[in-house]
């Protein structure tokens, strides 16, 4: 995707980070991490990116973080702790990070209440669903009998499959089409749908929920696939566009 050069202030997209043990140089420590593909996709869409690591002091009032941004992206990563949706962990649900879950749930609820544009990618879509009382399928092969949603661990090579998006939905508008080729890398998925959310996309392979959104809001979209890994995708750009529009409207409303 070609980089968009802006001659006006860029909209600010906050992207939530993972907490992982990582090695760089001579160091091996806990780190806040974010794949560069998320950052690059947002920047190519015309955004300025800030990283939002888990912060326990913001759980009660995430407003200080939300004041800094025009849109929120929930990135992929570790499985969500099943305690967040009232279930016991499946043997395949491992390496959960509850402090990240709690922070992102508080953040996304507050962002949606403000009507800030929100995009959840993979785990991020699942997080939106859980934040509104939904639940997850903890191991898809157990339900569907195949591993096609996670073919090779650690790569999107050969991970393409098609999804069908609801005509006229936000998902279809963001993707630019109703029959959409995607890249996936996940072993969990949406089960019970959260309150106020609407399913707007399914996998053509097996009917798994692939897109959810919240009608009545400016832009609340969750996609189970990884648009940041696809240079041809317009989904992240749609988030940036919605954030820019919202920022412009807020700026105009403050002009005396």
Tens of pLDDT, residue by residue over 71-114, are: 999 999 999 999 999 999 999 998 899 999 999 999 999 999 99
pLDDT greater than 70 at residue 8? no
pLDDT at residue number 6: 46
Residue 127 tokens, joined: 């997080």
pLDDT of residue 5: 44
Residue 235 above 90 pLDDT? Answer: yes
Q: What is the CATH number of the domain that holds 245?
A: 3.40.50.880
**pLDDT of amino acid 153:** 75
Q: What are phi and psi of 137, to 5 degrees?
A: -80, 120
Contact 177, 234 (CB under 8 A): no
Predicted confidence (pLDDT) at residue 171 exceeds the cutoff of 90: yes
Q: Count of domains in the chain?
A: 1
pLDDT at residue 255 in the model: 59
115: left (phi over 0), alpha (psi -120 to 50) or beta: left
Q: What's the pLDDT at 155?
A: 74
Place of tokens 């508080």: 106
Average pLDDT, the chain: 92
Per-residue pLDDT at 148: 67
d(C-alpha 3, C-alpha 136), whole Å: 36
User: What residues act catalytically?
Assistant: 122, 226, 228
Structural domain boundaries, residue 161: 12-251
E-strand ranges in 105-249 read 118-121, 136-137, 160-165, 179-183, 189-190, 198-203, 209-213, 220-223
Output DSSP code: residue 3. P
3 assigned to some structural domain:
no
Return the pLDDT at 107.
98
**Closest-CA residue to 237 (of 66, 119, 76):** 119
Tell whether the model's pLDDT for residue 12 goes beyond 50: yes
pTM, rounded to two decimals: 0.93
Could you tell me if residue 90 is inside a domain? yes
- Does the structure show a pLDDT above 50 at 126? yes
Residue 6: inside a domain, yes or no? no
Number of H helices, E strands in the chain: 7, 13
Q: Does residue 91 belong to any structural domain of this protein? A: yes
Residue 112: φ, ψ to 5°: -70, -35
User: Does some domain include residue 144?
Assistant: yes
**Over residues 125-143, mean pLDDT:** 94
State pLDDT tens for residues 21-30: 888 888 889 8
Residue 104 lies in a domain: yes
Q: Does a structural domain hold residue 1?
A: no
The stretch 234-248 carries a mean pLDDT of 96
Q: What percent of the chain has pLDDT over 90?
A: 76
Query: Residue 3: what pLDDT?
Result: 46
Would you say residue 186 lies in a domain? yes
């Amino acid at each position: 995707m070609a980089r968009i050069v802006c001659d006006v202030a860029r909209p600010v997209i906050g992207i939530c980070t993972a907490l992982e043990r990582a090695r760089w140089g001579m160091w091996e420590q806990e780190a806040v991490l974010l794949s560069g593909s998320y950052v690059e996709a947002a920047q190519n869409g015309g955004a300025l990116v800030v990283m939002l690591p888990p912060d326990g002091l913001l759980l009660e009032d995430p407003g200080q973080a939300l004041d800094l941004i025009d849109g929120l992206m929930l990135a992929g990563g570790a499985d969500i702790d099943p305690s967040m949706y009232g279930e016991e962990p499946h043997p395949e649900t491992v390496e959960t990070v509850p402090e990240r879950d709690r922070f992102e749930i508080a953040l996304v609820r507050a962002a949606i209440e403000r009507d800030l544009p929100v995009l959840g990618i993979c785990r991020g879509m699942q997080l939106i669903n859980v934040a509104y009382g939904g639940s997850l399928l903890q191991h898809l092969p157990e339900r569907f009998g195949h591993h096609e949603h996670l073919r090779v661990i650690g790569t999107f090579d050969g991970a393409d499959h098609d999804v069908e998006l609801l005509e006229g939905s936000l998902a279809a508008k963001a993707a630019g089409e109703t029959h959409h080729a995607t890249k996936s890398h996940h072993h969990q998925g949406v089960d019970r749908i959260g309150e106020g959310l609407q399913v707007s996309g399914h996998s053509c392979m097996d009917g798994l929920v692939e897109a959810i959104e919240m009608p009545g809001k400016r832009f609340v979209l969750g996609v189970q696939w990884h648009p940041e890994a696809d240079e041809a995708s317009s989904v992240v750009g749609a988030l940036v566009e919605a954030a820019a529009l919202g920022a412009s409207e807020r700026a105009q409303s403050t002009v005396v």
